[in-house]
Amino acid sequence: MRPQFKTLTAIAFAALLGFSSAAKAGHFPNDYDGDFSPNSQFFSEDARTAARTPSGMIFVPPRLTARQEHYGFLPGVSNWDPQNKHPQQWDGQDWDPTMWNKDWTPEVAIRKFYQNRYFEKQYLTPGKPPLPVLELGPRFYGLSDLDQRRMLKLIADYNQIFEQGFPVIELVDWHTHKIVGTYTAKGMFLN
């Protein structure tokens, strides 16, 4: 006999013995409906409490139901974690003006961004030290995150903001004139 068949035979034989002993003891009424719940009268005391809590619930060890740390949603870090932990995912995603048509330069692209109201204006804040501010137009919010980041990177590279020593570009809404985010050398952060 094969080992699997021996195991199945042994299990079936044990089940038959259990049912026959319960039937001999008079535990099964004639109208038995198959109720084997923990509170049923057909469980012996030791079988009823095996791997169960005192209230009859099935006990499951915590190691079987423990969730991995990365399964949880972390709203505070989900916005920046992938960009910082996996920066290589952004490789090849930026626009390369050297690959563009000779009539389409970064200067032409930025002028079109302003004409189509993706950007409204740019200026430096008064005070010490001054900070560059870029006022976002109404159409900027309709772009995908990737295109928003590409546009901001193109304008920052064209104006050489970070090469001039500025650490950040403040992003201001055109309508409310409130700060809605920042753009740094590490990427775009919108509130």
Q: Give the pLDDT confidence score for residue 82 in this predicted structure.
A: 52
Confidence of residue 174 (pLDDT cuts 50, 70, 90): very high
Q: Give the pLDDT confidence score for residue 28 in this predicted structure.
A: 47
pLDDT at 65 over 80: no
Taking every pair of Cα atoms in the chain, the longest distance, rounded to a whole number of angstroms, is 96
Nearest CA among 188, 97, 100 for reference residue 146: 188
pLDDT tens-digit readout, 15-41: 655 555 544 445 444 444 555 555 555
State whether the Cα torsion 66-67-69-72 is positive or negative.
negative
Residue 131 tokens, joined: 């900070």
Listed as own residue / partner, the contacts of 183-190 with beta carbons closer than 8 Å and 24 or more positions apart are: 183/134, 183/152, 183/153, 183/156, 186/83, 186/84, 187/80, 187/83, 187/90, 187/149, 188/145, 188/148, 188/149, 188/152, 189/79, 189/80, 190/148
pLDDT tens-digit readout, 95-124: 888 888 889 999 999 999 999 999 999 999
pLDDT at 145 over 60: yes
H helix intervals, 66-143: 81-85, 106-115
pLDDT at 148 over 70: yes
pLDDT tens-digit readout, 86-95: 656 667 788 8
Q: Give the pLDDT confidence score for residue 106 in this predicted structure.
A: 92
